[in-house]
Amino acid sequence: MIDAPIADVTRQSLTSNLQNGERTVTELVAGIADDAQHLIRQQYQMLRAEVREDIRRTKSAIKYLGLGAAGMMVGALFLVVALPLFLNWMFVLPAFAGWAIIGALLLLLGVVGLFAGKHIFQKNNPLPDKTLNALEENLSWITNHRN
């Protein structure tokens, strides 16, 4: 610290400010720090409340999406059941023919889907190759430079 004498005028102005009810610089800085902490706490609480509200809305949306998907699946099932009957009526086919045609089409669609999924899965490598290579490089560098 610098040992400089403080003039009596400066001392008098500092003490006179205290006597007049004014706050010192230390008190002002402490007040600002308290206000900043209070503000940060409020923002944290506001963030938590907002996240809770977003999660609540997401849960609600997921419920409705699930109900909608279930309804669509049941509707699609009824249409698939009605389609062979419609083919039999439209083209005056024997009773089994409509079912056989729709069954064959669905089987073909399933086989195509399986092969497409298998092809995509074979191209996909779930391991993080770049990260593993970098890790191997770092380990080999550490072992070579340790000796």
Q: How confident is the model at residue 59 (pLDDT cuts 50, 70, 90)?
A: very high
Q: CA-CA distance, 112 to 76, in Å (whole number)? A: 20
Condensed to tens digits (0 to 9), the pLDDT of residues 65-76 reads: 999 999 999 999
**What is the average per-residue pLDDT within 25-36?**
91
Q: Picking from 58-62, 76-80, 101-105, 137-141, which range would have the lowest pLDDT averaged per residue? A: 137-141
Condensed to tens digits (0 to 9), the pLDDT of residues 83-128 reads: 999 999 999 999 899 999 999 999 999 999 999 999 998 888 776 7
DSSP 34-99: HHHHHHHHHHHHHHHHHHHHHHHHHHHHHHHHHHHHHHHHHHHHHHHHHHHHHHHHHHT--HHHHH
